[in-house]
Amino acid sequence: MTTRKTTARKAGRKKAPKDFEARVKDSAQRIWLAGLGAFALAEEEGGKLFKSLVSKGESFEDKGRDQFEKARDRFESLAEVARDKASEVAGGVRERAGTAWDRVGGNVDEAVASALHKVGVPTREEIHRLTRRIEHLTTLVETKVGTKKSASRKGTTARKKTARKKTARKSMVRAGS
Residues with pLDDT less than 50, the chain: 177
What integer pLDDT is reported at residue 168 of this predicted model?
Answer: 63
Domain tally, the chain:
1
Query: Which residues make Cβ contacts (< 8 Å) with residue 123, sequence separation at least 6?
Result: 113, 116, 117
Residue of 78, 58, 54 lying closest to 66 (CA atoms): 58
Tell me, rounded to whole angstroms, the distance of Cα 25 from its chain centroid: 81
Average pLDDT, the chain: 79
Measure Cα distances from 156 to 148, 153, 162, 165 in Å. Answer: 11, 5, 10, 14
Give 43-68 pLDDT, tens digit per residue. Answer: 888 778 778 888 888 888 888 888 88
Q: DSSP assignment, residue 120? A: T
What integer pLDDT is reported at residue 163 of this predicted model?
Answer: 65
Q: Could you tell me the residue range of the domain that residue 34 belongs to?
A: 2-121
Identify whether the C-beta of residue 123 lies closer than 8 Å to the C-beta of residue 117: yes
What integer pLDDT is reported at residue 173 of this predicted model?
Answer: 54
What integer pLDDT is reported at residue 175 of this predicted model?
Answer: 56
Is 21 domain-assigned? yes
Is 165 domain-assigned? no
Q: Taking the complete model, does pTM exceed 0.75, yes or no?
A: no
DSSP line for 27-45: HHHHHHHHHHHHHHHHHHH
